[in-house]
Amino acid sequence: MTRIYIDADACPVKDETYRVAERYKLPVAVVSNRMIAIPDSPMIERVVVEAGPDVADDWIAEQAQEGDIIVTGDIPLAARCVEKGAHVIDSKGKVLDASSIGMALAMRNLMTDLRSAGVETPGGPAFSKLDRSRYLSALDTLVVRLRKPRFRMPVAPI
């Protein structure tokens, strides 16, 4: 069964994720290194990991399995999860998969290198209502696509 993991410390779309998960009866793990309020639902689990860099990311990457959905804006975490066959979506509704993760990782590394060299890089635009709407639509579409049975060619008898 598909499970949704939320990299929750800075996630602006937790409520939208809960709504989609409830609609499709999917379990959700809300992973953070501090207590975060979650709805009272048997389908939603709060996971509080130790404080420290990448501890929540490491926990999610260890738990993620093929077919799970990971909600994160962290590109290295996304790459680790895509490698395991999980589906990754960021808070603006962008789905990162095997065909797009390489470019996203290269761009992230380039920007990190530029900042390390003292170059001021532009920040992204502020999170908007349109971003929230795109996320909700993209997550719903992803869940529907994952729930459809895979088409299989009939096997002719020998």
Q: Using one digit for the tens of pLDDT, what is the confidence trace for 66-80?
A: 999 999 999 999 999
Rounded distance between C-alpha atoms, residue 132 and residue 78, angstroms:
20
Cα angle 89, 73, 103 (rounded to 5 degrees) comes to 80
Q: Is the pLDDT of residue 88 over 90?
A: yes
List, for residues 23-43, the tens digit of each pLDDT value.
Answer: 999 999 999 999 999 999 999
pLDDT of residue 151: 47
Instruction: Tell me the torsion sign for CA atoms 48, 84, 69, 123.
Output: positive
Could you tell me the two tokens for 155?
A: 């096997």
First to last CA, the chain: 34
For 120, other C-beta atoms within 10 Å of its C-beta total 7
Of 150 and 66, the one with more pLDDT: 66
Domain 4-147 is in which class?
alpha beta
Percent of the chain with pLDDT over 90: 70
d(CA 80, CA 101): 10
Q: Where along the chain do its domains lie? A: 4-147
Q: Two tokens at 102?
A: 């390489």
Q: Which one-letter DSSP state was computed for residue 153?
A: P
